[in-house]
Amino acid sequence: MKKREPVRHIMTHQPFSLQINKGLHEAEKLFKKHKIKHLPVVEGDQIKGVLSLTDLKRISFVDAYDPNEDTLDPSVYSLFTLDQVMVSNPVTVDPNTPILEVAELFSKSEFHSAPVVEDGILVGIVTTTDLIRFLIDQY
C-alpha cells in the first residue's frame, strides 16, 4: 500500500457544487440528477459550506430510508435557508494531504466528505466512498 499517496489521486476533481445564493430545491435537483450525497457550497470558487443529502432528509421528515427511492418532502424547503441547513466552515484538505491522513480524519469525525481546497479555491471533494474504493484497489 502506498503510504504517502496524496488525496488528489482519489478525489473527485471539479465536483458539482452549489452557489450560496441558491436554495434547497436546487440542491435536491443536483443530488438526484447526479446521484451524489455531498455538495460543496461555494461563493464563486470559495468554499462556504457542505450540504449533504442526509441534511435534506433530516429537515424533510423522512421516516424511513429506502435506497431505491429518494422521496423527500420539499414543502419544508421554504422554511429553511441553505445557510441554516449546511455545515458552515467545513474541514477542508489540501490536494497533497496523504490519503492516510484523510482516512484518520474521517475515522475520528462524524462527517463523510471533505472539500479539497488549493490556494483557497475548491478543486475537489473526497468522501469515505473514495477511500473505500482506494482500499479495494490495493487488494
Q: What is the b/e burial string over 53-79, where b = at least 16 CB atoms within 10 angstroms of the residue's CB?
A: bebbbebbeeeeeeeeebebeeeebee
> Cα(66)–Cα(119) distance, rounded to whole angstroms?
39
Q: Please name each of the domains of the chain with its CATH number.
A: 7-138 (3.10.580.10)
For 80-132, the pLDDT digits (tens) are 899 999 999 999 999 999 999 999 999 999 899 999 999 989 999 999 999 99
Residue range 10-50, pLDDT digits in tens: 999 999 999 999 999 999 999 999 999 999 999 998 999 99
pTM: 0.86
C-alpha span between 105 and 83 (Å, rounded): 24
Phi, psi of 55 (to 5 degrees): -60, -45
Tell how strand 121-127 and strand 113-118 pair up.
antiparallel
Beta-carbon count within 10 A of 90 CB: 19
DSSP state of 80: S
Pick from 36, 19, 7, 34: nearest CA to 86: 19
Residues in the chain, how many? 139
Q: Which helix (H) or strand (E) holds 34?
A: helix 24-34
Residue by residue, DSSP assigns 111-122 as: -SEEEEEETTEE
